[in-house]
Amino acid sequence: MGSPLCVPIFLAVCILIQSSTHGQSLRPEPFGRRTRVTATKKTLLETETRFLLFKDKANKGCQIRLHHADTLQECGFNSSLPLVMIVHGWSESAPFSRSNVHLIGYSLGAHVAGFAGSYISGKHKIGRITGLDAAGPLFEGTSASDRLSPDDANFVDAIHTFTREHMGLSVGIKQPVGHYDFYPNGGSFQPGCHFLELYKHIAQHGLNALSQTIKCAHERSVHLFIDSLLHPSMQSTAYQCSDMDSFSQGLCLGCTKGRCNTLGYHIRQEPLSKGKRLFLVTQAQSPFRVYHYQFKIQFINQIEKPLEPTFTMSLLGTKEEMQKIPITLGEGITSNKTYSFLITLNLDIGELMVIKFKWENSAVWANVWNTVQTIIPWGIKPRNSGLILKTIRVKAGETQQRMTFCSENMDDLQLHPTQEKNFVRCEVNPKKLKLKIK
């Protein structure tokens, strides 16, 4: 045992300083030394975090440099002794407002950031806390005081990316914990993170591919936030909705009354009395942004029984064209029912101008159609042998633009298997249109 003055515990203190110039050498130096900086317009100031190692009470502290392991030896670090980390912020006497502080925590760190915010007393709270897929185990279902919550800062936003349950537990917390809670792709799992993608991860990460695949969805929250900083002109918009099923039907692309917001650093900060859950679709890699569209169509079925056909759409915009997007309506086609669904595009096609709608061929419907044509005498066109689709209504989520598309040939509205029809922009009175369809 050493003397009472020698404490066998290391103390590492993080001190924020704002008086260091860019490129300054950071050799181990005694605690308390102040850097002299000549203030000029060309001097680039930056904030640095200093890590100081204390071995005993008499020691003045030795600075540990990040990514320089040799400074541990120079400062006399002894790995056999206990280590105590002391992290502090700023002095109350410093001219710094708490409202300017933004804490970002990932996984368990999200709750740590919440605890830090909740323990700050007084009327002035931390400005903002961002939780990146806050940890689920031991926190799911707990009270607001035991996890990250909207009370921990003036504004709290959270991104949920891995809430899929395994044996009753999920890596990321599923319940809302902020003023705005974002659920990319529903929040349960993320595109590009399936085990079927393992071979791609092997090419990128080698022997670390398995661990990268396992943590892929959980870590996606971090990459989404970074993406918002790397691509300021390609911000991802999310929309308030009750669940992912409703969102997948395109029912939630409204932005009125704050029902949409930007995911990531550039979020519109609006503290709310009641939190909002927002959903969006993303790509599997950066840049993650997609363009959301709601499509509404209403058929008249003239074959007198429910149909289950397969459709595709090609979209022609002022910038790009997207070919043969598969459309799945999920149930049989019946008359006078409006079908709503969500389409997402990886490219900005500009303003949508033309829709090419096609009833794709299948062996079953090819036989049905051939039979119908065989029964009906030559020269007589079957009147009740297909689907009638007069209009397609579209709403673009990112621009909030509403559009109606009418059949290019209003004299021939029937759609048959393998047939493709063009729909162009038109002005339609919804009330008159409803009467005509009936």
**Per-residue confidence in pLDDT tens, the chain, 438 aa:** 444 433 333 333 333 333 333 333 333 444 343 344 344 334 434 446 788 888 776 677 898 888 888 998 899 888 888 777 666 666 556 667 888 889 999 999 999 999 999 988 667 889 999 999 999 999 999 999 999 999 999 999 999 999 998 777 889 999 999 999 999 999 999 998 876 555 565 556 565 655 566 788 999 999 999 999 999 999 999 999 999 999 999 999 999 999 999 999 999 998 888 999 999 999 999 999 999 999 999 887 655 555 678 899 999 999 999 999 998 876 677 777 889 999 999 999 999 999 999 998 655 555 554 555 555 554 454 444 578 888 999 999 999 999 999 999 888 888 888 899 999 999 876 555 443 433
Phi then psi dihedrals of residue 212, to 5 deg: -65, -35
Q: Which CATH architecture has domain 291-371+384-425?
A: Sandwich (2.60)
Candidates 133, 157, 181, 227; catalytic one? 133
When the candidates are 3.20.20.70, 3.40.50.1820, 3.30.750.24, 3.40.50.2300, the CATH number that belongs to 82-280 is 3.40.50.1820
CA-CA distances (angstroms) from residue 259 to 11, 111, 239, 254?
A: 48, 26, 6, 6
Q: Are 135 and 110 in contact (CB under 8 A)?
A: yes
**In this predicted structure, what is the pLDDT of residue 5?**
38
Is 259 annotated to bind a ligand? Reply is no
The position carrying tokens 């100081």 is 52
* Cα–Cα distance measured from residue 249 to residue 342, given in angstroms and rounded to the nearest whole number: 5
CA-CA distances (angstroms) from residue 151 to 66, 137, 273, 400?
A: 34, 21, 10, 32
Cite the residue boundaries of each domain of the chain with CATH code 3.40.50.1820. 82-280
Is 348 annotated to bind a ligand? Reply is no
* Cα–Cα distance measured from residue 390 to residue 387, given in angstroms and rounded to the nearest whole number: 10
DSSP code of 247?
A: H
DSSP code of 411?
A: T
The position carrying tokens 């939780």 is 131
**In this predicted structure, what is the pLDDT of residue 283?**
97
Candidates 107, 118, 236, 248; catalytic one? 107
**In this predicted structure, what is the pLDDT of residue 2?**
42
**In this predicted structure, what is the pLDDT of residue 107?**
95
**In this predicted structure, what is the pLDDT of residue 51?**
84
Nearest in space to 59 (alpha carbons), one of 2, 20, 21: 2
Task: Give the contacts of 164 (CB within 8 A, at least 6 positions apart).
Answer: 170, 188, 189, 217
Token pair for 76 = 């006399």
* Cα–Cα distance measured from residue 57 to residue 292, given in angstroms and rounded to the nearest whole number: 61
298-321 exposure pattern, b = at least 16 Cβ within 10 A, e = fewer: bbbbbeeeebebebebbbbbeeee
Candidates 111, 179, 201, 218; catalytic one? 218
Cite the residue boundaries of each domain of the chain with CATH code 2.60.60.20. 291-371+384-425
Token pair for 431 = 């009330």
Q: Is residue 218 annotated as a catalytic residue, yes or no?
A: yes
**In this predicted structure, what is the pLDDT of residue 121?**
62
The position carrying tokens 């911000």 is 235
